[in-house]
Chain A
């Protein structure tokens, strides 16, 4: 069974750094793109970007380019989302998701449970 398990909720102050994780199981982690999606409180889904763990190829949304960093450790089947200097506007739920090619399109077929990040002074 494919599963993505994310790290727990975080409370941080503006200017602090943070790295959250997403551990995959039940499939060959290196062989599928992993996406990150933000959901601000009471808002919709924002596509942040995707990373291919097998070769670290990364595609960032222009809205998030330079604001976050994706990485992965294939030896432990884990993807990471990192901030160097958090802002209050980074508050939200962050989901990781496995991207698959169905033969007709890409889609996110399995999702993590989400990590709530709260940034407040």
Chain B
């Protein structure tokens, strides 16, 4: 099975900051990597698929990059509504494991 390591597990940042969250897989997965956002009490929401494809309606301050084993989610200028937990997920092969999550908190 492919292991997914997400870092950091938590992050404190201010409105307007640039934030990066990382995901590393135990073997190469090409671009089979998705990012989700989850707010308290809500279901996850798909933000980015195939490492860098922004989903319709997702603000352009979100971006994704990477291929192979190393991937990054970047929020260029943090907004109040972005405080949430973020998960990556690989879909290269089953089981399609999620990363452990990054909780983004207000500084």
Contact = CB atoms under 8 A, between A and B. Distances in A.
Interface of A: 35, 37, 44-47, 49-50, 59, 61-63, 95, 97, 102, 104-109, 111-114
12 contacts: A37-B44, A44-B87, A49-B95, A61-B95, A97-B43, A102-B49, A102-B53, A107-B34, A107-B46, A109-B46, A109-B55, A111-B45
B49 A107 contact: yes
Nearest to A93: B43
B91 A111 contact: no
B32 A105 contact: yes
Interface residue tally on B, bucketed by range: 20 to 34
Q: Name A's interface SS.
A: strand
A121 B72 CA distance: 43
Given A95-B44, A109-B46, A104 B1 contact: no
Query: Which of A35, A44, A59, A111 is packed against the most chain B CB atoms within 10 Å?
Result: A44
A113 B38 CA distance: 12
Contacts of B32: 105-106
B100 interface: yes
Contact of A108 (B1, B31, B44, B53): B44
A113 B98 CA distance: 19
A47 B50 contact: no
A104 B31 contact: yes
Interface in B48-78: 49-51, 53, 55
